[in-house]
Structure 1
Amino acid sequence: DLSEIAIYAKIENHHYRMLKNLTPGPYTFIHMATKQVPRRLQHPKKKTIGIRVPDNAIAQALLAELDEPLMSSTLILPGDELPMTDPYEMRDILSHQVDLVIDGGYCGFEDTTVVDMEDDAPVVVRAGKGDTRLFET
């Protein structure tokens, strides 16, 4: 949820209200990172961070159990152009390199919609599963 977002991202009140209405959902929101965010987790030049609240039962359960945010990335192996979506294939290839593979079923290829919220007016950086019409002026 967004209850601790101010620890990680500098966010204006009107942006917070927008995020509250659109999360959980298929969006990644880019904000200026706070000093609490390690440099290696920030964009190297812009000092920004992407914030996402996924609408996924497994991710929500993990977050509730851990009671802290997770850093994640799309699983695209070196030499591949598309992300892995088959949990059985992930287990076969990666089981000796990771502690756990959670079988949440097959997932799709559709990206999240990425919205840059560094300035006053949000800007869609990448159109994806989330409705981009919400950000048109």
Structure 2
Amino acid sequence: MRIYADFHIHSRYSRATSKEMSVPNLAYWAEKKGLNLLGTGDFTHPIWLRELKTVLKPSEFEGFYSYKGTFFILTAEINTIFEREGRTHRIHHLILAPDFEAVESLNAILGERGDLISDGRPSLQMTPAEL
């Protein structure tokens, strides 16, 4: 099977993102565009995570979930902000998680470092190595 994927997705809980971003809409447009695997985006956001747990079903492939024929993998983007040699740096990291249990563990740690509810793509004061 050929895989056509887009892992860099955001939910409606990210700033400057359509309020129409939902799992059903993502699956609908993935099919229209010929994609069969999508990242969920924004698993760090508690409301979006709750929706993902409700809507997505485990697939026959470990680490993948499905919704009406479209496969999903749990993803999030995290922006690390840190200073080095007198300059501020911002690096965006795309995180892929194997299951909801791993997501919950990571979110618990990240939640101690910053606000996960104000934006679907959190900006956290830490270095990439700390992440």
TM-score, scaled to structure 2: 0.23
Larger Rg: 1
Identify, as 1 or 2, the structure richer in strand.
2
TM-score, scaled to structure 1: 0.22
